[in-house]
Structure 1
Amino acid sequence: MTRSGEVAFQDLQVNGVRLHVAVAGPTSGPLVVLLHGFPEFWYAWRHQLPPLARAGYRVVAPDMRGYDLSDKPVGVEGYKLDLLASDVAELVRAQGRERAVVVGHDWGGVVAWQVAASFPNVVAKLVILNAPHPKAFRRELARNPRQRRKSRYVALFQLPFLPEFLIRRMLPNVAEFFRGTSTRPEGFTDEDAQRYREALSRPGALTAMINYYRALVRFRPVSAFPRIDVSTLLIWGEKDVALEPGNTEDLHKWVPNLRVVRLPMASHWVMSDEPVRVTNLLLDFLGAPASTASPAEASGDNEMLP
C-alpha cells in the first residue's frame, strides 16, 4: 500500500481484474464507494475524498476497469455493464463489508444504477451525479431531439480506431476540454490536466474507456431493469453539455425513495464546479457518524488533494 497525504492506494483483485483503488478514512467507518466517469479516474473525487474521510467514513475510489492504473481487459465483451456492476459488488466484499453507500458520476453513475438493480443487498444508499436512470434516458431519447443531438457522439464511439485517434489528438489540450465544458474553469488546474493526460495516455486506456460505450450498445444487461427501492439522492448540474435536464423528471415510479437536487449553475463536472455544495449534500444525505464534524466544517473551502 502506498500513501499520498490523506489518501492511500491499494491494488485489489476483484471479479478477475486488478483494480487500483484510492482509500481514505478510518477502516471501521461506514463504507462509501466513489465511482468516476468518462474520461476520468479516482482523481475525479479529489474534492470529496478528504472531507468524507475526516467525517468518519471509509472512502474507496477505484480506477474502474480500463482506466489509469487498473487492468484493461482486451475486447469489448470485457466491459459489459453486468461485469462492471459485479466489480463494484466484489470491491465492497473485498473491504470486508456486506453493504456500502455507492456514489457514481457519469459512467460511474450508470454502473451505480446497475449495482442497485443487480445487487440491491449491497447498496445501503445510492447517490447519482449527472447520470440518467436507464428508463428515463430511453424516454428522453425518444421524445427529446436535443437529447438525441447531444448523444450523437455515442454513435461515433462505435467505430473502430477513429475515436481513439481523435481523443489522442486532443490530449495536449485536455485542460481546454474540461475548462470549456465547465461552469468553473478555474476548477481544473494545470496540475489536474497533467494528471488526466497521464491517465489517458496509459497503454490501452483509450480503447478500454471507449469500449464502455461499445459494450453498452452491443450487449444488454442480463435482466430487465427493476424498481430501485433504496434511498437515493440524484445531484444534477443543469448546464450539462451531454445530458438534458428532462432526465431528472418523473422518476419516482422507478425510484420511489428519491430526492433530486438540481444545481442550476453547475455543468456535467458537478463535483468540480461546486465541490463544497456536493460534499455537503453527500454528508447530509449519508448522515455523518456521531461525534464528527458538521457538513460545513468537514467540507472545508474548495478542499482538494495535494
Structure 2
Amino acid sequence: MDHRITSFSRDGLTFDVADQGPLDGEIVVLLHGFPQTAASWSALAPLLHAEGYRTLAPNQRGYSPGARPRGRRAYRMSELVEDVLALYRVTGADRVHVIGHDWGAAVAWMLAARRPEVVATLTALSVPHPAAFLKSMVTSGQAVKSWYMVFFQLPWLPELLVRLAHRYGRDRAIKVNMASGQTAENAARDIDFLSGSGALTPAINWYRAMPLSSPGQTRQPVRTRTMLVWGDQDVALGRKGAELTRDYVAGPYTFHALPGVGHWIPEQVPDQLAEFLRPHLAAAT
C-alpha cells in the first residue's frame, strides 16, 4: 500500500493508527497493552524504521475515541483479534509481523494461533502464551501477582479508586510505576491518559471480559516463528509462565530473559529489543 493508514473501521467502530517508516517496507503491527496507547512504541518504532520496516501501531478497542463500545462482552478476545485482522486486511499485505506488549501480546498470541497464515513472525513482550499463563497460576506464585485481575472484575469500584488516586495521589502513582521500570515522563503520560481520556472503563473491560472466553481457545499451539522477551523484574508476570511457554509453541522459538528489566520492555530497553528483533524478523520466509 503506497499511502498512510491513519485509521480503519470495523462494525461501526473507528480505530486510530500511527503509520510510520518506509511505505514499501515489510509491515510490523505493534499492539500496545494496558494502560497505554500507540505512544508506547515511540522508542522502538524508529529503530525498526532504520532497518527498513514500516510500523502500524493502532490504538486498540477502548483506547481509540471512536472505538469504545459499552459493556464487557464487546471486549472479548475474539473481538480484539478481529480488530487486528481488520487492520491487516486494509494493508493488502500477504503477511505481517506482529509485536505485542502486555495485553497486546495476549492478542498477538491468539491471532497467531487462530490465523497463522497472516502472521510472518510473532513477538510477545512480557506476557507468555495464554495456556502457559493459566498453568503458572496453579504452579507458581503467579496468582498472587495477578490479584488486580480479580479486583478489576468488580463494577465501578476500580474506576472510582483510579480516579481518586489520580486526583489525590498522582505523584505516588507515578513513583509506583517508576519502581516497575517506567520513566517519570512515561508513567505520567499513561496515568493521565487512563484517568482523563474516557478510556478507563473500556480499558478495564478487557479484564472483565476474561471470564467470557472459552478455556479451550487458550490452549491452541502457535506454529508461527515466535520470540518471547520477558524481564526478570516484572512485577506482574513471573518466570514460570515464561518458561512454560516453550510447551505451547510448535514452530521455531526464541526466549530472552532480561536481567534487571521490568514490565515496560519496549520503553525500558528499546535498543536491546531491536537487536533481538533484527534476526527474528529477518528469518521469516
Length-normalised TM-score, structure 2: 0.90
Aligned to 2:161: 166
SS class of match (2:14): strand
Aligned to 2:28: 32
Aligned to 2:103: 107
Shift of 1:193: 4.2
Give the Cα–Cα distance (whole angstroms) in 2 for the partners of residues 16 and 103 of structure 1. Answer: 26
In structure 2, the CA distance between the partners of 1:202 and 1:220, relative to structure 1 (3 Å rule), is: farther
Aligned to 1:21: 17
Aligned counterpart in structure 2 of residue 261 of structure 1, from 251, 256, 271: 256
**Aligned 8 A contact 2:178 2:187 in 1:** no
Aligned counterpart in structure 2 of residue 214 of structure 1, from 208, 222, 225: 208
In structure 2, the CA distance between the partners of 1:275 and 1:197, relative to structure 1 (3 Å rule), is: same
Quick check: 242-251 or 153-162, which moved more?
242-251
Quick check: 167-176 or 230-239, which moved more?
167-176
Percent identical among aligned pairs is: 37
Hey, which bits of structure 1, 4+ residues long, moved more than 4 A? Answer: 221-224
SS class of match (1:23): strand
Quick check: 159-168 or 247-256, which moved more?
247-256
Shift of 1:15: 4.7
**Aligned 8 A contact 2:47 2:271 in 1:** no
Shift of 1:189: 4.2
Give the Cα–Cα distance (whole angstroms) in 2 for the partners of residues 170 and 19 of structure 1. Answer: 29
1:49 aligns with 2:45: yes
**Cα distance per residue 1:60-105 (max 9 Å; x no partner):** 0111110154521111011000110111111111112231001101
Q: CA RMSD in A?
A: 2.1
Give the Cα–Cα distance (whole angstroms) in 2 for the partners of residues 121 and 106 of structure 1. Answer: 23
Give the Cα–Cα distance (whole angstroms) in 1 for the partners of residues 28 and 197 of structure 2. Answer: 29
Give the Cα–Cα distance (whole angstroms) in 2 for the partners of residues 193 and 105 of structure 1. Answer: 16
In structure 2, the CA distance between the partners of 1:46 and 1:177, relative to structure 1 (3 Å rule), is: farther
**Aligned 8 A contact 1:34 1:59 in 2:** yes
SS class of match (2:127): coil
Structure 1 gaps of 5+ residues are 1-7, 290-306
1:271 aligns with 2:270: no
In structure 2, the CA distance between the partners of 1:70 and 1:177, relative to structure 1 (3 Å rule), is: farther
Structure 1 segment 242-257 matched on structure 2, within 5 A: 242-256=236-250, 257=252
Shift of 1:283: 2.1
**Aligned 8 A contact 1:15 1:86 in 2:** no
**Aligned 8 A contact 1:68 1:199 in 2:** no
Shift of 1:223: 4.2
Structure 2 gaps of 5+ residues are none
Quick check: 43-52 or 247-256, which moved more?
247-256
Shift of 1:132: 1.6
Aligned to 1:123: 119
Aligned to 1:301: none
**Aligned 8 A contact 1:23 1:60 in 2:** yes
User: Partner letter of residue 21 of structure 1?
Assistant: V
Shift of 1:279: 1.7
Give the Cα–Cα distance (whole angstroms) in 1 for the partners of residues 216 and 10 of structure 2. Answer: 20
Give the Cα–Cα distance (whole angstroms) in 1 for the partners of residues 49 and 152 of structure 2. Answer: 36
Length-normalised TM-score, structure 1: 0.84
Give the Cα–Cα distance (whole angstroms) in 2 for the partners of residues 205 and 55 of structure 1. Answer: 33
**Aligned 8 A contact 2:132 2:248 in 1:** no
Alignment: residue pair count = 276
Aligned to 1:233: 227
User: Partner letter of residue 155 of structure 1?
Assistant: V
Give the Cα–Cα distance (whole angstroms) in 2 for the partners of residues 228 and 148 of structure 1. Answer: 24
SS class of match (2:28): strand
**Aligned 8 A contact 2:61 2:68 in 1:** yes
Aligned to 1:177: 176
Structure 1 segment 66-85 matched on structure 2, within 5 A: 66-85=62-81
**Aligned 8 A contact 2:25 2:54 in 1:** yes
Give the Cα–Cα distance (whole angstroms) in 1 for the partners of residues 17 and 247 of structure 2. Answer: 35
